[in-house]
């Protein structure tokens, strides 16, 4: 997070010199805007200060908690003037957990601020005139709670008690979460049943400091439309102690669970999953449906976490792709092929790729289940396959990408500029990397519009769909 903040304030700090604020210093502050992590941003004697839990327009008294070379962090001591959009967070562990950042901001204003975060990123990382860009209002949810279909809760111990939850923001303190109000009720229930069985059976929980024990993480995913649930128990060891007893107990108590998997991650890493996944009981995948389409999801396959908003997201991608039935389309970072399947009726041919082998297996199963003959899915990177296909004389008319938060790999962007599809549809979950990528693409592509979508209410995350058209194509209209 400090790295992100450093990037956010670099230009300003270069102009103003090093920071002069001292730790534990108290001072008044007016909050000007939200930062990329959802905290309030103010300026004290022209120095940048980040204050979690504050909102634009608020007048507060803060105390500096950490002073960095380019910025300071502070905590609120007193709110002198509250925002009219401030509300009481309904979550009992909101401040301790850190999984959500904006529960104290009324939802309609969250949508306004998320568009502003997107505009801030474009202003900071590009040379575009914002007035020349068509940036639309954020598409939100009617009921912005209990939307996440997947939970990844770390496991730990408090005395003899097994707890499951998330690490607090900027700490390694595990917060025990009995019910997360942005999670689906199905995943909350399953997490608690698994946690209780680990405790009842005295199955050793992994201790990161001592590097002893077995179970590290409980991952659950629910097919919202099908009701099918998958449990993935992530272990640091190949062996899962009392495995048979655990499986039997889970099957008895959770008939909705159709898949129980074990993933093995022996490495000291912040990554949840290791490379090896084993079927313990049931089937390898669960089924989910979106607008009539069915998707088979394996343990490590990527799938959007908010099914209701996913339909909006995919429909925005469909609008931007604007297919007529003949186009050759590449679904880069395709995961289990969800976007390609959504666009299949309008495409002449669809090709997708992903570096995770299981995802490609899922994509092929999903395509075959609809008897689609115009699809091809390969394991590997988009830049590798697109250059190979170009050499074979195959060029896409439309490329759709939905990359991770790190954005598109520079080599993929270079490949796009070399292959030159007529349309490029960029679904982004990180405004900063989107802005940088758009700056590079703008040499050959015109930005027709950017549509922000709120996939994660109560958090600072902003998703968006950008439609880009090849300038030669745009000029020929």
CA distance 149 to 219: 11
Q: For strand 257-264 and strand 229-235, is the pairing parallel, antiparallel, or unpaired?
A: parallel
Cβ neighbour number for residue 409 with a 10 Å cutoff: 17
274, with CB counted inside 10 A (0-12, 13-18, 19+), is: middle
Is 429 a residue of the active site? yes
Q: Which of 100, 180, 334, 429 is labelled catalytic?
A: 429
The residues assigned a catalytic role are 429
């Amino acid at each position: 997070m400090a790295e992100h903040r450093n990037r956010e304030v670099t230009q300003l700090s270069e102009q103003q010199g090093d920071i002069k604020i001292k730790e534990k210093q108290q001072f008044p502050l007016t909050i000007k805007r939200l930062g990329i992590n959802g905290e309030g941003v103010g300026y004290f004697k022209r120095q940048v200060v980040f204050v979690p839990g504050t909102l634009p327009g608020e007048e507060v008294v803060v105390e500096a908690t950490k002073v960095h070379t380019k910025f300071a962090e502070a905590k609120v001591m007193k709110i002198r003037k509250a925002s009219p959009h401030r509300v009481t967070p309904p979550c009992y562990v909101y401040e301790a957990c850190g999984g959500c950042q904006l529960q104290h901001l009324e939802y309609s204003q969250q949508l306004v601020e998320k568009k502003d975060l997107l505009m801030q990123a474009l202003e900071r990382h590009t040379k575009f005139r914002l007035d020349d860009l068509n940036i639309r209002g954020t598409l939100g949810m009617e009921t912005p709670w209990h939307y996440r279909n997947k939970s990844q809760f770390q496991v730990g111990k408090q005395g003899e008690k097994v707890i499951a939850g998330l690490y607090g923001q900027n700490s390694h303190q595990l917060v025990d979460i009995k019910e997360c109000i942005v999670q689906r009720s199905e995943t909350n229930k399953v997490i608690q049943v698994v946690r209780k069985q680990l405790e009842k059976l005295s199955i050793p929980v992994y201790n990161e400091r001592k590097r002893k024990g077995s179970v590290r993480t409980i991952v659950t995913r629910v097919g919202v439309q099908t009701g099918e649930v998958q449990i993935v128990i992530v272990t640091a060891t190949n062996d899962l102690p009392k495995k048979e007893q655990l499986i039997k107990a889970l099957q008895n108590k959770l008939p909705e669970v159709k898949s129980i998997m074990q993933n093995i991650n022996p490495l000291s890493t912040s990554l949840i999953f290791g490379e090896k996944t084993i079927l313990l009981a049931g089937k390898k995948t669960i089924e989910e449906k979106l607008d009539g389409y069915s998707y088979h999801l394996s343990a490590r396959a990527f799938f959007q976490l908010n099914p209701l908003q996913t339909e909006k997201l995919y429909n925005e991608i469909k609008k931007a792709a604007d297919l007529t039935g003949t186009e050759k389309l590449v679904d880069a970072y395709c995961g289990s092929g969800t976007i390609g399947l959504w666009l299949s009726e309008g495409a002449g041919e669809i090709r997708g790729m992903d570096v995770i082998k299981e995802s490609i297996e899922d994509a092929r199963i999903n395509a075959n289940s609809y008897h689609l003959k115009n699809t091809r899915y390969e394991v590997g990177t988009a830049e590798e396959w697109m250059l190979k296909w170009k050499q074979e004389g195959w060029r896409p008319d439309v490329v759709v990408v939905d990359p991770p938060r790190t954005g598109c790999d520079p080599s993929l962007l270079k490949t796009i500029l070399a292959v030159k599809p007529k349309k490029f549809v960029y679904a982004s979950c990180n405004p900063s990397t989107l802005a940088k990528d758009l700056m590079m693409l703008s040499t050959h592509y015109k930005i027709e519009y950017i549509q922000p979508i709120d996939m994660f209410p109560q958090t600072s995350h902003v998703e968006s769909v950008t439609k880009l058209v090849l300038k030669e194509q745009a000029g020929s209209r």
